[in-house]
Chains A and B, each alone.
Chain A
Amino acid sequence: MNGKIALRTLSVVAGTAALLLGLADILVWIGGSGPFEIGFMQIAGDDFFRWAWGGAVVACGGLLLIAGGLRGAGLEGRARALLGAVLVSLIAGCDIFGMICTSIPAGEESEAFFNSVAGFIGGFAPPYTPAVLLLPFMLAIAFFLLREEAT
């Protein structure tokens, strides 16, 4: 029972963070004053597609997580929370896929085709987008929700 309450609480807290960070993505893009950086996190805000569209998806994911967490342990609540976690993870997955795709080639200046191992790993160095920083929490929420469904 305590575990279920903890999972609902985590959904609401992570959902609130996703909602605020998604809105921040959009606001930095609207302001055109990016990049905005705090610690490991960076919102570049330079591209409508990533920051306005992607930010809106993260914010919607946050709303679904909050709605799911507040609905309680029923099936509908779990489904909403899971869908919210999936939306945020989708944006994070696209960001990570983008990092992989830009890290594999050596770059225009180099004569080699493939990046060195150090260069490849360097492509994953911080700062990260808000969605990527939220990803571990989203995966944890999705894991526990699916485990609840299985039992």
Chain B
Amino acid sequence: MTSLSMDERWSLADAIAGRAVRTGVYTRSLADALGDLTISPLTGIPVAFAVLYAFWSIFSSFAGDLATDGFMVKLFDAHWLPWLQSVWPDPQSILYFLFVGDPAADNCFEAFGVLTSGLFVSIGVVLPAVFIFYLTMTVLEDSGYLPRLAVLADTLLHRIGLHGYAVVPMILGLGCNVPAITATRILETDKQRFMMMTLIAIFIPCGAQLGIMLAVIPESVGLVIFTLLFGFALFGFFFSRLLPGENPEILIDVPPYRRPTIENVSRKLRIRTMGFLREAVPFVLLGVLLVNILYLTGTIDRLSSALAPIFVVWFGVPPETVGPLVAAFLRKDLAVAQLSTIPMTAYQMFASVILVSIYFPCVATFVMLLQEGWKFLGGAILALMTVVFLYGGLIHLAGMLLGVA
């Protein structure tokens, strides 16, 4: 191998640059002007609202109207549940209770067996919700819109000690909190990461929860999400001021808009959906099994009796909700489904769903927090207990002042 002289190196660099670099006068195109309009607050905020509208509208039409209500409910309630109830022996046995659930149930929501509610929630509700969520998310990501959303959200998120890119884990959290916790690593300081993890674990409902809420309380989902986002901003503001640490500025590189390619979108969609299914389905099935065992051993009843005064007096919800709230540690989506079977006023249902959301993170998120270290987890639990107590009480107070609680 011969070494090149300085002149030869320069000549080689010139030759490469001559072939690789194009020079000329750059003309501003319509795509550039559109790109600028989506970053400018005056025009960018309406666009952001339109994108979020489309995101939620597509999510609810596909996951709610088409997949779950259109096909899965019929498949599970009219075919799977009656078949399972007819072939599984001895409805009074423990195994029947654990795997099929209530022998008198006429729908999978109320059966609460591993093979009835567990399968229905994971396949009938969560799978379509996660599929359409990741599809729309990938299209937004690949089109180059997400960095623009980060620029727009930057001013707002700075007020709570975060920066624009915090919007990425926030949106990811609407699919599943587990990758959202991982995505907080794009934030610079320990303070920002701790704040974001805690706020996600408390205030961002996952796709499974959203899917169940859409099926159980469709008329209140908007109000629930608004209350959660309000809590996110309120407690973010306090965390930012109370916690020690820095909130540094960042530079965001905004790429040009690009047409998403089918190959990229389908590859990302497959990897994300399969990854979610591998993590979520075993958790849902195991969660139902453990909850049923806790009911069988009387643990949930004992906890309900012990905690009922706090829930009734401080949060204003019926004592029957304590069981689902304890079970929410294993699966929040299942807890919302369990709440739907308890007779409650509209306010009590709203308050209970909020409590399920802001209550302890689900066990998968808990494990992710644990991976960040005991210090992070301990701090998050302390913050979480304070927030649940304060925000839950605040919602009850607001309900009493409005005369609905």
**Interface 9-residue window, one of A6-14, A53-61, A133-141:** A53-61
Assuming the A-B contacts A97-B61, A101-B70, are A64 and B30 also in contact, with contact meaning beta carbons closer than 8 angstroms in the complex? Answer: no
Selected from A50, A64, A101, A111, the residue in CB contact (under 8 A) with B65 is: A101
A80 near B37 with CB under 8 A, answer: yes
Contact B65–A102 (Cβ < 8 Å)? yes
User: How far is B30's CA from A145's CA once the two chains are assembled, in angstroms?
Assistant: 10
List the 9 closest A-B pairs by CB distance, nearest first. A105-B70, A79-B33, A60-B46, A101-B66, A94-B57, A101-B61, A98-B61, A57-B50, A149-B30
Residues of B within 8 A of A72 (CB): none
Tell whether A90 is near chain B: CB-to-CB under 8 Å.
yes
Chain A residues whose CB sits within 8 angstroms of the CB of B61 once the complex forms: 94, 97-98, 101-102
CA distance A126 to B66 in the complex (A): 21
CA distance A60 to B46 in the complex (A): 7
**A48: interface (CB < 8 Å):** yes
Given contacts A94-B53, A98-B65, A105-B71, 6 further A-B contacts (CB under 8 A): A50-B57, A57-B49, A79-B34, A80-B43, A97-B57, A102-B61
Determine the main DSSP class of A at the interface with B.
helix
CB pair A149–B54 under 8 Å, yes or no, is no
- How far, in angstroms, from A146 to B65 measured CA to CA in the complex? 35
C-alpha gap A17/B33 in the complex (Å) = 25
Q: Which residues of A contact B69 (CB under 8 A)?
A: 105
Is the beta-carbon distance between B46 and A113 smaller than 8 angstroms?
A: no
A90 contacts B54, C-beta separation under 8 Å: yes
Residue of A48, A53, A61, A104 near B66 (CB, 8 A) is A104
Chain B hits for A79, CB < 8 A: 30, 33-34, 36-37
CB-nearest residue of chain A to B218: A47
B74 to A75, Cβ gap below 8 A?
no
Question: How many angstroms between the C-alpha atoms of A64 and B38 in the bound complex?
Answer: 12
Q: When the two chains form their complex, are residues A90 and B50 in contact, meaning their CB atoms are under 8 A apart?
A: yes
Of residues 72 through 109 on chain B, the ones whose CB sits less than 8 Å from some CB of chain A are 73-75, 78
Distance from B38 Cβ to chain A, minimum over Cβ atoms (Å): 8
Q: Are the C-beta atoms of B53 and A91 separated by less than 8 Å?
A: yes
Cβ A104 vs Cβ B222 within 8 A: no
A60-76 to B contact mask, C-beta < 8 Å, 1/0: 11001000000000011
Which of A83-121 touch B at CB < 8 Å? 83, 87, 90-91, 93-94, 97-98, 101-102, 104-105, 108, 111, 113
Identify the closest chain B residue to A145 (Cβ).
Answer: B30
Q: Across the interface, do B53 and A53 meet the contact criterion of CB distance under 8 Å?
A: yes
Q: Is B237 an interface residue (CB 8 A)?
A: no
B43 near A83 (CB under 8 angstroms)? yes
Q: Which A-chain residue is minimally distant from B27 (CB atoms)?
A: A75
| Minimal beta-carbon separation of B362 from chain A (angstroms) | 26
Q: Known: A64-B43, A101-B65, A101-B66. Is A83-B37 also a contact (CB below 8 A)?
A: yes
- Separation of A56 and B48 alpha carbons in the complex (Å): 12
- The answer to whether B53 and A57 have CB atoms under 8 Å apart is yes
The complex places the Cα of A101 from the Cα of B67 at a distance, in Å, of 8
**Chain B residues near A113 (CB, 8 Å)?**
71, 74-75
In-complex Cβ contact of A93 among B38, B54, B70, B78 (8 A): B54
Chain B residue nearest to A75 (CB atoms) is: B33
Q: Give Cα A57 to B51, complex, Å.
A: 10
B58 nearest CB across to chain A (Å): 6
Q: Cβ of A18: which chain B residues have Cβ within 8 Å of it? A: none
Residues of A within 8 A of B58 (CB): 94, 97
Q: From residue A26, how far is it (CB to closest CB) to chain B in Å?
A: 13
